[in-house]
Amino acid sequence: MVSASDWGSEGRRFKSGRPDGMRDEPGTRAVLTVPNALSFARILLIPLVVYLLLSEGSEAAGLLLWGFVSATDWVDGAIARRTGQVSDLGKILDPTADRLVIAAGLLAIVARGAFPLWAALLILVRDGLVLFAGLLLLAMRRNRIDVRWIGKVSTFGLMVGVPLIAWGHFGLPLPAAATALGWTFFAVGIVEYYVATVLYVGDLRRAFAR
C-alpha cells in the first residue's frame, strides 16, 4: 500500500482489477525467495546509510546511498509478481522495508540539523498510520490496498526533495540551488501525499466493509 512499490498508472490503479482496490493475490509461505532477499538487503543497508549521514565528511555518500536504496523499493515487489514468488512474508516485508529506509534516513538528517523536525513528522506520522492500517487489513482480511498513481508520484517527489534539502544544509556543492529545488519538490510532494492518504482511507473503508 505504501511503498514506491509506489510506481504504476492510474488507469490500472489496482493490479487485481477489482474496483474496490482490494488485492487478494495468493501468497506462498516461502521465505527464501529473491524478492525477500532484496527486501532483507535493503534493511541491512539501513545502518550504513545512517552511519554515513551522521558522520562528518560522508554526508554526500550517505545521501546518494539513501536515494539509491529508496529508489529501488519497487524492485522486490515487481520481481515477486513477475516470477510468481509472491509470499506471505514478502507482503509484510516489502512495505516495512520501504518505511524503515525512509524513516531511518529522515531521523538521521534531522539529528544532524539538515532537515526540520516538523517536515519529517509530516512524512513519518502519515507513513506510520498508513502502514499500520495496511498491515491490519492484511492480517484481518488477507487483502491489501494497491498503491495509487498519485501515491507513487508523491513518494518520488519527496524522495527527491528531502535529500536535496539535506544536501543544501550540509553545504555540499550548489547548496542554494539544491535547497530551493528541494523545497519545491517537497511542497508539491507533501500535498499529493495527503491527497493520496484521503483516497487510501476510502479504499480501506471499502475493504474492511466487505
Q: Is residue 6 scored above 70 in pLDDT?
A: no
Residue 206: HSE in the Cβ half-sphere, 13 Å Cα cutoff: 13
- What is the pLDDT averaged over residues 95-121? 93
Asked whether residue 2 is assigned to any structural domain, the reply reads: no
pLDDT number for residue 9 = 32
Which grid cell sits at 92? Answer: 509484510
Range of the structural domain that residue 202 is part of: 10-209
pTM of the model: 0.77
- Which CATH number does the domain housing residue 184 bear? 1.20.120
pLDDT number for residue 10 = 32
Asked whether residue 27 is assigned to any structural domain, the reply reads: yes
Q: CA 152 → CA 72, 108, 182, distances in Å? A: 13, 24, 18
Bridge partners, 28 (sequence order): 87
pLDDT number for residue 30 = 61
Mark out the alpha helices in 72-174 (DSSP H runs): 75-83, 88-111, 117-141, 149-169
Asked whether residue 72 is assigned to any structural domain, the reply reads: yes
Q: Is residue 73 scored above 90 in pLDDT?
A: no
Q: What is the dihedral of CA 123, 128, 129, 134, to 10 degrees?
A: 120
Asked whether residue 16 is assigned to any structural domain, the reply reads: yes
Phi, psi (deg, nearest 5) at residue 23:
-110, 125
- Select the highest-mean-pLDDT range: 57-61, 64-68, 200-204: 57-61
Q: Is residue 105 scored above 90 in pLDDT?
A: yes
Query: For residues 23 and 45, which has the higher predicted lDDT (pLDDT)?
Result: 45
Asked whether residue 4 is assigned to any structural domain, the reply reads: no
